[in-house]
Amino acid sequence: MSVSPHITSPYGAHRTVGAVESYPRFLWRSLGVATDGNWLFYGWMTLLTAIALVGANAWAVQVRDGMIVTNMSDHVSWGLYIANFTFGVGLAAGGVMMVIPAYLYDDEEMHELVIIGEAVAVAAILMSTLSVVVDLGRPDRFWHLIPGIGKFNWPMSMLTWDILVLNGYLAINLHIVGYLLYMRYLGRKPNPRWYVPFVFLSIIWAISIHTVTAFLYCGLGGRPFWNTALLAPRFLASAFVSGPAFILLVLRALRSTTNWEWSPRPAQTLIQIIRVAMAANLLMLFSELFTLFYTGSGHAAAARYLFFGSHGATGLVPWIWTAVTLNLVGTALFCMPHALERGSVRIAACIMCIIGIWIEKGMGLVVPGFIPSTLHEIVEYSPSPTEWKVTAGIWAFSMLVLTVLIKLIAAVHSRRLHSTAPHLP
Amino acid sequence: MTPTSITSWGFIAAVCLMLGCQRSESSGGQSPLVVAAESAAAKRHPVVIRKPPVPQGVPTATLDPHGKPVSLQCSACHRVRAANATTAQSTDLDEFHQGLKFAHGQLTCISCHDANDNYSSLRLADGRSLPFTDSMRLCAQCHGTQFRDYQHGSHGGMTGHWDLTRGGRERNHCLHCHDAHAPKYPTFTPVAAPRDRFRPVVSSGVSHE
Amino acid sequence: MSSGQPLPSLPILDQEPTGRRGFLKACGATLGLAAWATALKPLTEWAQDVSVEEFLQKHYRELKPDEKQAVFRRLEADCKQDHGVDVTISDPQAIPGVQFAYALNLSICIGCRKCAEACHIENNHDRATNNSYIRVFEMVMGGIDFEKGDATYDHPVPQPGKFYMPVQCQQCENPPCVTACPIEATWQEKDGIVVVDYNWCIGCRYCEAACPYHARRFNWEAPQIPAEEINPDQGYLSNRIRPQGVMEKCTFCLHRTREGKMPACLEACPTGARVFGNILDPHSEIRWVVENKRTFVLKEELGTKPRFYYFFDE
């Protein structure tokens, strides 16, 4: 009924399947695998769904009643949502950290795990996109952003660049993940022509998404705290920490929930990346602060408010010192190979770095850009319950997607999901 | 044509000429005063200076049936009294003007009030008499920069049109904002501040805590 | 086994050994969908206020004349329905040969906030927040240091040792807000005024982050104005009542100034600190100020080229 593929499965196919017929079948069966698991899995998915529902409801109320339900104001016009967006883009860029050693340096052992980094990137891009959508005052006018139908202020507006690169990155990573999974599912060796160019493209693209996101901020002359050429390199360096740290956590979770065995070398490579990147990140942060504080110009006002408070207002001081502490302790742990042998220490170090960078890029970078305001008024900001709910919902939904992706990857890897495999147990 | 009518026509013509010469707003005596007359090119609407407050005599302690003080003409007293050239404050006086606050540099009463006219008019620095309605010229002789700014529309409140080909404009007189005896702009309570959802931390030099 | 079936069947149905599980999954999926529908219910309440015409409305600059008229009539009808007030939506165009500019004499500004109040009334601002496009700063004499400024003062003015600095949109010749906007919802008109199409803006607030003068305002909720206080003379690009969730800004009262009138803030100024006009007219007051006074612009170093000048008397 359909054309047989030229390469038949080395796993002993008892039938050949045409691509046209088999791809939808692959998707259907993926759905089956994705919704199947033990009680721990169901518990986890139910929990994530519940949080996502709370977030969705909070967002719907926000759309109905206006952004007055957030604690943003005309002085601090971006808050937790855009903070989370910035972190998400970093995480997505960090997802390709596994790709670089795997392909640039031909690290064969990494090849197995590249797909996990790509899956993290997909989920992180989803998180970033959702974070922007919930920040819109008029999400119903989303179509105005679609090139061709709406009005796209390209190339002038950096936001249009961001939309392009984020969507492009999502497409590239979805293609790589989908292709590799599907080939494995068919039991065929992936054709390098169909994914290696995209992998290299995704490496360049990963750098570009975070650079463009930094340019969103550093291109604004009226905001001296952001208006620094170091922002893009700092963003990249911190992304090279949060991404691999997150992937390490995913690997941990995979190890404890599946019987997927792999060598410890990829994890070691990631830890090395984290060490170097964190050192570079902290150096750049220090260099930035030195320039601000030593010259003592008016440009230091935001940094002064952030680190020490200003005119009795100290809203961000606990945040930033928490971030500094977590980053320093996390980095110290990553520099102690023996301690890192213990799983709990490794998890703690990863979590510390992730939270530290989440704060550093969000509450420690996006928010102080607005405090003091362009006319030097100090209006403080702390997220409202709605903002926390919506942000938690976005995290939960993205984790849900990531869980499904990882589950599929694991199922394909263990050949539970295979074109020739019997149906689910 | 009678000689009378010829004289009056001549007077009107002179007034017209005078008005025609004054290109932009000036301190003419009539109120409301039409200053920007029609130009040859485009029809320009007038710029009118709002009528300044003109003193209606001096209030006395006697009240009328409405409870307002009865005013006396300046000349009622000053016709029979000799002017004291050095008087500069109401406290120097024995009668009348007792409550008058005076804070206008080193001036004395007769710097601006015309004693020769029994104080019923104003007096320019060169001694010429000036009706109260023409007070802007009196102000202008010392406050030249302010008057220049006024003439160029950068001093003194106004309403109406920026584009005089589309409509006219009304302007305040000096006396709408400045009391001639104490010209410093008064202090008053401002309109309420914006009610920001999150009040800015006051960072001014003055402590508000 | 589904082997040989022409089409893939539902994975939850094609497994005999786990029929119970499949049933549970179906139940779970149904429950989940119901839960999502419930969670997002407020969206449907909100969507009732957004008509199809409003949703599909094109960008202002792409509307044909008859389409524009239809939009204005619709907005007038909406205002009648929502507020019970008859308003007129006008759309005055930039006057050829006119570039607006504004100057403010800091020597005679007394900080009375009458300008901010006039703006509040003229531009149909939300009453609860006392919103205004003008923010007046009480500054310490001896420098132009906003760090020592205070916009929330509440004592008699003018105070000794202080001067007052109203700040509003500077109508930059090189506006960073316009560059920032991803969808061209804000642009510069031929007479120099930067406007917002309130029906095109998606409310991302990037322009608010980009503006160095705190000139833009966001409608955090739908503005509330008592019917009797609504200014019925409304411009599509200026003072019409803004929808929830969009940006707004000072337009130099273009619905007035494009008819030759003064902006509301200038008319309210008791001291005449404000000077407005056509900078291209060599005989205009604004031209005289710029040519003869030592004017300065805010944050000149940013290269925004404001059309709003400040000056002190000598």
In three state form, how does the secondary structure of C271-304 look?
CCCEEEEECCCCCCHHHHHHHHCCEECCCHHHCC
Lowest mean pLDDT among A223-227, A297-301, C213-217: A297-301
How distant, in Å, are the alpha carbons of C120, C168, C218 from that of C265?
Answer: 9, 10, 20
Instruction: Identify the pLDDT of residue A264.
Output: 83
C260 vs B contacts (CB less than 8 Å): 161-163, 165-167
Q: Given pLDDT bands bounded at 50, 70 and 90, which one contains residue B65? A: confident
Whether residue A376 lies within 8 A of chain B, CB to CB, comes out as: yes
Interchain proximity C150–B202, CB inside 8 Å = yes
Closest CA to B79 of B48, B106, B113, B116: B116
Instruction: Identify the pLDDT of residue A4.
Output: 43
Lowest mean pLDDT among B188-202, C17-31, C121-135, C165-179: C17-31
Closest CA to C46 of A134, A61, A387, A57: A61
User: Which phi-psi region, left, alpha or beta, contains residue B24 (left: φ > 0; alpha: ψ -120 to 50)?
Assistant: beta
Alpha helices in chain C (DSSP H): 19-39, 41-47, 52-56, 65-83, 114-122, 176-180, 206-210, 254-257, 264-268, 285-292
- State in Å, rounded, how far the first CA of chain B is from the last one: 81
Q: What is the ipTM, given to two decimal places?
A: 0.91
Quote the tokens at residue A364: 């420690």
Q: What is the CA radius of gyration of chain A?
A: 23
pLDDT of B76 higher than 50: yes
Contact (Cβ atoms closer than 8 angstroms) between residue C23 and residue A41: no
Instruction: Identify the pLDDT of residue B29.
Output: 40
Whether residue A40 lies within 8 A of chain C, CB to CB, comes out as: no
Tens-digit pLDDT profile for residues A195-249: 889 988 988 899 999 999 999 999 999 999 999 999 999 999 999 999 999 999 9
Whether residue A145 lies within 8 A of chain C, CB to CB, comes out as: yes
User: Of A217-226, B58-67, B80-89, where does the model show the most confidence?
Assistant: A217-226
Tell me whether residue A209 is in a domain: yes
The full length of chain C comes to 314
Q: Given pLDDT bands bounded at 50, 70 and 90, which one contains residue C18? A: low
Number of domains in chain A: 1
Interchain proximity B201–A312, CB inside 8 Å = yes
Mean of pLDDT over chain A: 89
pLDDT of C266 higher than 70: yes
Instruction: Identify the pLDDT of residue A19.
Output: 56
Cα–Cα distance for residue pair A356/A326, rounded to 1 Å: 5
Tens-digit pLDDT profile for residues C246-265: 999 999 999 999 999 999 99
Tens-digit pLDDT profile for residues A81-92: 999 999 999 999
SS (H, E, C) chain A: CCCCCCCCCCCCCCCCCCHHHHHHHHHHHHHHHHCCCCHHHHHHHHHHHHHHHHHHHHHHHHHHHCHHHCCCCCCCCCCHHHHHHHHHHHHHHHHHHHHHHHHHCCCHHHHHHHHHHHHHHHHHHHHHHHHHHHHCCCHHHHHHHCCCCCCCCCCCCHHHHHHHHHHHHHHHHHHHHHHHHHHHHHCCCCCHHHHHHHHHHHHHHHHHHHHHHHHHHHCCCCCCCCCCCCHHHHHHHHHHHHHHHHHHHHHHHHHHHCCCCCCCHHHHHHHHHHHHHHHHHHHHHHHHHHHHHHHCCHHHHHHHHHHHCECCECCCHHHHHHHHHHHHHHHHHHCCHHHHCCHHHHHHHHHHHHHHHHHHHHHHHHCHHHCCCCCCCECCCCCCHHHHHHHHHHHHHHHHHHHHHHHHHHHHHCCCCCCCCCCCC
Interchain proximity A379–B203, CB inside 8 Å = no
Task: Give A236 to chain C, closest Cα distance, Å.
Answer: 22
pLDDT of B16 higher than 60: no
Q: Given pLDDT bands bounded at 50, 70 and 90, which one contains residue C231? A: very high
CATH number at residue A386: 1.20.1630.10
Percentage of residues of chain A with pLDDT beyond 90: 65
Whether residue C180 lies within 8 A of chain A, CB to CB, comes out as: yes
In Å, how far from its chain's centre is CA C21? 55
User: Which phi-psi region, left, alpha or beta, contains residue A75 (left: φ > 0; alpha: ψ -120 to 50)?
Assistant: alpha
How distant, in Å, are the alpha carbons of A133, A311, B124 from that of C136?
Answer: 34, 20, 39
Whether residue C44 lies within 8 A of chain B, CB to CB, comes out as: no
- Specify the higher pLDDT residue, B133 or B5: B133
Instruction: Identify the pLDDT of residue A411.
Output: 87
Burial of A89 (0-12, 13-18, 19+ CB in 10 A): buried
Interchain proximity A298–C41, CB inside 8 Å = no
Instruction: Identify the pLDDT of residue A26.
Output: 84
Whether residue C2 lies within 8 A of chain A, CB to CB, comes out as: yes
pLDDT of C90 higher than 90: yes
Lowest mean pLDDT among A66-70, A275-279, A407-411: A407-411
Averaged pLDDT for residues A53-72: 97
Instruction: Identify the pLDDT of residue A10.
Output: 38
Tell me whether residue A140 is in a domain: yes
Instruction: Identify the pLDDT of residue B41.
Output: 56
- Specify the higher pLDDT residue, A116 or A391: A391
b/e map A290-300, b = 16+ CB within 10 Å: eebeeeeeeeb
Closest CA to C111 of C138, C143, C144: C138
Place of tokens 């044909």: C64
pLDDT of C13 higher than 50: no
Tell me whether residue A418 is in a domain: no
Please, which residues have CB within 8 angstroms of residue A214's CB and are 6 or more apart in sequence? A231, A232, A234, A235
Q: Given pLDDT bands bounded at 50, 70 and 90, which one contains residue C9? A: very low
Percentage of residues of chain A with pLDDT beyond 70: 94
SS3 C254: helix
Averaged pLDDT for residues C17-46: 86
User: Of A151-155, B12-16, C133-137, where does the model show the most confidence?
Assistant: C133-137
Most C CBs within 10 Å, among B43, B162, B198, to test the C interface = B162
pLDDT of C17 higher than 70: no
Tens-digit pLDDT profile for residues A20-60: 567 888 888 888 888 888 889 999 999 999 999 999 999 99
Sign of torsion, CA A214 A217 A220 A226? negative
pLDDT of C277 higher than 50: yes
Contact (Cβ atoms closer than 8 angstroms) between residue C298 and residue C172: no
pLDDT of B31 higher than 90: no
Cα–Cα distance for residue pair B160/C58, rounded to 1 Å: 36
Instruction: Identify the pLDDT of residue A20.
Output: 57
Averaged pLDDT for residues A250-268: 85
Q: Given pLDDT bands bounded at 50, 70 and 90, which one contains residue A109? A: confident
Instruction: Identify the pLDDT of residue A227.
Output: 94
Whether the bond into B32 is cis, omega within 30 of 0: yes
Question: Of the candidates A60, A153, A369, which has its C-beta nearest C41's C-beta?
Answer: A60
pLDDT of B28 higher than 70: no
pLDDT of C168 higher than 60: yes
- Give the A window 291-320 contacts with B, CB below 8 Å: 310-313
Give the fold, CATH level 3, of C100-311.
Answer: Alpha-Beta Plaits (3.30.70)
pLDDT of C133 higher than 60: yes
Percentage of residues of chain B with pLDDT beyond 90: 42
pLDDT of A8 higher than 70: no
Instruction: Identify the pLDDT of residue C2.
Output: 39
Residue of B nearest to A69 (CA): B197
Interchain proximity B198–A377, CB inside 8 Å = no
Instruction: Identify the pLDDT of residue B15.
Output: 45
pLDDT of A415 higher than 80: no
- Give the C window 102-161 contacts with B, CB below 8 Å: 103, 105, 108, 110-114, 116-117, 128-132, 135-136, 138, 140, 147-158
A70 vs C contacts (CB less than 8 Å): 220
Instruction: Print the domain residue range for A303.
Output: 29-413
Tell me whether residue A94 is in a domain: yes
Q: Given pLDDT bands bounded at 50, 70 and 90, which one contains residue B70? A: confident
Instruction: Identify the pLDDT of residue B62.
Output: 83
Q: Write the DSSP symbol of residue C8.
A: P
Please, which residues have CB within 8 angstroms of residue B192's CB and are 6 or more apart in sequence? C113, C130, C154
Averaged pLDDT for residues C276-280: 97
Interchain proximity C151–A36, CB inside 8 Å = no
Interchain proximity C183–A137, CB inside 8 Å = no
CB atoms under 10 Å from CB of A371, counted, come to 25
Sign of torsion, CA B125 B127 B131 B134? negative
Quote the tokens at residue A241: 């920490």
C108 vs B contacts (CB less than 8 Å): 155, 185
Instruction: Identify the pLDDT of residue A14.
Output: 40
Most C CBs within 10 Å, among B145, B204, B207, to test the C interface = B204
Tens-digit pLDDT profile for residues A312-334: 999 999 999 999 999 999 999 99
Tell me whether residue A101 is in a domain: yes
Cα–Cα distance for residue pair A156/B176, rounded to 1 Å: 50
Instruction: Identify the pLDDT of residue B9.
Output: 52
SS3 C194: strand
Instruction: Identify the pLDDT of residue A47.
Output: 96
Averaged pLDDT for residues A162-172: 94
